[in-house]
Chain A
Amino acid sequence: MAKRVGIEVSQAIAEAVKMANVDVVAAYPITPQTHIVEHLAQLVADGELDAAYIPVESEHSAMSACLGASAVGARTFTATAGQGLELMHEVLYVASSMRLPVVMTVANRALSAPLSVWCDHSDAMAIRDTGWIQIFAENGQEVIDEVLCAFRIAEDQRVLLPVIVYLDGFLLSHMIEPIYMPEQDEVDKFIPPYQHLLPLNPDKPVTMGAFAPPFIYSETKKAQEVNLTAAKEVILQCWDEFGNIFQRHYSPVDCYRAEDATVLLLTMGSFGETATVAIDKMRNECRNVGLVNLRLWRPFPFAEIRQAVSKAEVLIILDRALSFGGPAGPVCSEIKAALYNEDKKPKVISFVGGLGGRDITPDGFEQIINRGIEISQTGSKQEYEMYGVRE
């Protein structure tokens, strides 16, 4: 039976990666990801994890080394945050396009300038379209569970795509939480060995990364898109099986007291945990509100989102990133697009908040919900409102 231990989430990630028996870790330190890679380096140094730890000189090289390792068939892991994720940007496309199932955790961090080491989702939004499977975790337990699932999903022969598990920087990465750590034999059973179909191998030479003239480029992209979309089925299966074994159940979209709610708040990441406190309080006051938490960011769960919000009258979306000069926060834009052609859909109200580590308390969530309801009745001159900003 799994034990529940008090452990820092970053350290627990490293322990989970160890249990997944990775072969290669290539990483470059950046706050607030550091504890993950430091602990991994220690596990390798202590001989507890038989892996190559490549202390590369940049995140660009971290992801590049992961490509090389994955191309020879190694199970490969890295972690980063904020600026590091941006520096990886072009390499991320290559990982997904060359079907190299690297697994990465990103401790979300705001982007410079001004420099900020604290959490928001700007880093994740900037790499949204890189073709990775992307999962936002809400709490420490979920991070660990999703990291284990990530290896299985990424390396599934029907998928072969890289996976990012996002955890809010500091808010999750540096928390000490009670976490159920699985037993090694459970993990061994849950994650089968990685078998690259055609690794780099002198006995059977392959050419990887040939260039594509216009007559074939579109076809390669179409194939990739079909593949990423189809990965959703495998993700659902993986979560089902995870639930059967570990009794913790995950779905692309989580609903909290949302069934009969006329007003819904939608969040991603650790916001969800705090928001439930506000929802409980408002429910106690007989307010008909509920919460939707979006977990699977890519492939985007269109059907699940539509279903989750179909009965609500007002949907308030809180983004933790800005789309400068754009229509609203990036999550809100996507959800609006997903709902636009629906016959029955809620009015969508957009908020941006929690940038660069700014906290939002349960009271804050209540204010956001109340203001959202007000806007739904009176309208607003702005495309979105920024919560809690001094002007």
Chain B
Amino acid sequence: MEKNAIYIPRVVPRRIREKYAVQAPQLVTKEEYLASGHRFCIGCGEALAVRLACKALGRNSIIVSPTGCTEISTSLIPYTSWCLPWIHTLFENSAAVASGVEAGLKVMMRKGKRPAQDIDVIVMAGDGGTCDIGLQALSGALERGHNFLYICFDNEAYMNTGIQRSSATPFGASTTTSPAGKVSIGQVTWKKNMPAIVAAHDIPYVATASPSYPFDLMDKVAKGVATKGPAYIHILSVCPTGWRSATDLTVRIGSLAVETGIFPLYEIENGKYKLSLDLPQRRPVIDYLKLQGRLRHLSEETVKQIQQRVDKEYAKLMEKVA
């Protein structure tokens, strides 16, 4: 954060926030980098997360997006919602494009072809563009050690193309290509653990976040861009359209994902796991499942199965944190 000191601090650091009793909204920059008038759906968690992330990033950023909801909702010739420099090319190559942007900037500044400037390179991608079709490009970019931040906005399916399943779709969810039917519960595989896969690349910073916890999200984004080398943030983004949930419950459902332990918030700094939010007691997963049309069909038996899996995964995480 210090490195962009000419700008007003985008997010007041936690250590300062904790000392003063001020209203939360006053601590965030008023500057908007995602202009209103975009075409995200009402109640879209991804829109909220992108907006918050941009506030934490500030102006000296270049954004790379793959094809997906964010891309389609923010750009349409001749309009744009982006107040930051932004590039979209294809669906599966954002990490590679970002590699070129980062390497290009660095070498041009070194050769005096561009003025020396501190510019952050950030990918903003969906779960499909990250965990499935873009996984290879992401792995390559992480391994090569480019100095960039990759943010995955995980809405747990290919939403842009009409709610098809991805490897990030949770067990039991009904999507258009993993539909619940007479002989199927819907998605029959467990959600891919993308943060763990990224962490296995031994990069300096990995985190999970949720727009239901805006300060935590912005802290992590600020930390991510300040990291030297690759950083990755996995943001669970509630999608009322795809999850068939009420548009006014987006923030609530995002919190429930955390409170049930389904989507715990944590950081992995240089290999060290740290919980961002302690949960003395987790809520039962049914509190989360029952608010979503995609999961409401699940039998008691299946819900139990999910509860057991969440308990097990959470315990595994606790071991790493300890």
Residues of A at the B interface (CB closer than 8 Å) are: 23-24, 26, 50-52, 54-58, 60-62, 64-74, 76, 90-91, 94, 98, 193, 200-202, 204-213, 216, 220
Contact = CB atoms under 8 A, between A and B. Distances in A.
B27 interface: no
B5 to A, nearest CB: 15
Interface string B147-171: 0000000000000000000000000
A280 to B, nearest CB: 48
21 contacts: A23-B107, A26-B96, A51-B107, A52-B103, A56-B144, A57-B137, A61-B137, A65-B96, A65-B99, A68-B97, A71-B97, A72-B105, A91-B90, A202-B62, A207-B75, A208-B87, A209-B89, A210-B78, A211-B72, A211-B77, A216-B78
A213 B104 contact: no
Contacts of B241: none
B13 interface: no
Given A23-B108, A64-B93, A69-B101, A56 B85 contact: no
Nearest to B106: A52
Contacts of A52: 103-104, 106-107
A205 B105 CA distance: 15
Interface string B82-119: 11111111101101111111111111101101100101
Contact of B104 (A50, A60, A61, A69): A69
Nearest to A28: B140
Contacts of B143: 57
B29 interface: no
Contacts of A205: 82-86
Nearest to A206: B85
Contacts of B144: 54-56
B4 to A, nearest CB: 10
A225 B64 CA distance: 27
Contacts of B76: 210-213
Given A23-B108, A72-B100, A205-B86, 10 more contacts: A24-B100, A56-B99, A57-B136, A60-B96, A68-B103, A69-B104, A72-B105, A73-B108, A74-B104, A209-B88
Give the 8 A-B CB pairs with smallest separation, nearest first. A68-B100, A57-B140, A69-B104, A210-B75, A65-B100, A61-B96, A64-B96, A64-B93
B80 interface: yes
A64 B136 contact: no
B114 A73 contact: yes
Given A52-B104, A60-B92, A73 B85 contact: no
A62 B79 CA distance: 30
A210 B93 contact: no
Nearest to B146: A54
A69 B85 contact: no
Nearest to A51: B107
Given A61-B137, A205-B86, A76 B77 contact: no
A200 B92 CA distance: 20
B283 interface: no
A73 B134 CA distance: 25
A200 B96 contact: no
B71 interface: yes
B31 to A, nearest CB: 13
Of B78, B82, B89, B140, which is in contact with the most chain A CB atoms at under 10 Å from its CB? B89
Nearest to B81: A207
Given A57-B139, A68-B96, A211-B75, A202 B106 contact: no
A65 B107 CA distance: 14
A87 B22 CA distance: 55
B107 A68 contact: no
A7 B113 CA distance: 32
Nearest to A213: B76
A26 B102 CA distance: 12
B108 A74 contact: yes
Given A200-B62, A205-B82, A209-B87, A64 B100 contact: yes
A91 B104 contact: no
B60 interface: yes
B247 interface: no
A208 to B, nearest CB: 4
B96 A71 contact: no
B61 interface: yes
A193 B136 CA distance: 34
Given A52-B106, A58-B140, A71 B101 contact: yes
A132 B82 CA distance: 29
A55 B145 CA distance: 11
A226 to B, nearest CB: 18
A277 B95 CA distance: 50
Nearest to B62: A200
A58 B114 CA distance: 28
B201 interface: no
Contacts of B88: 208-211
Contact of A60 (B82, B113, B137): B137
B59 interface: yes
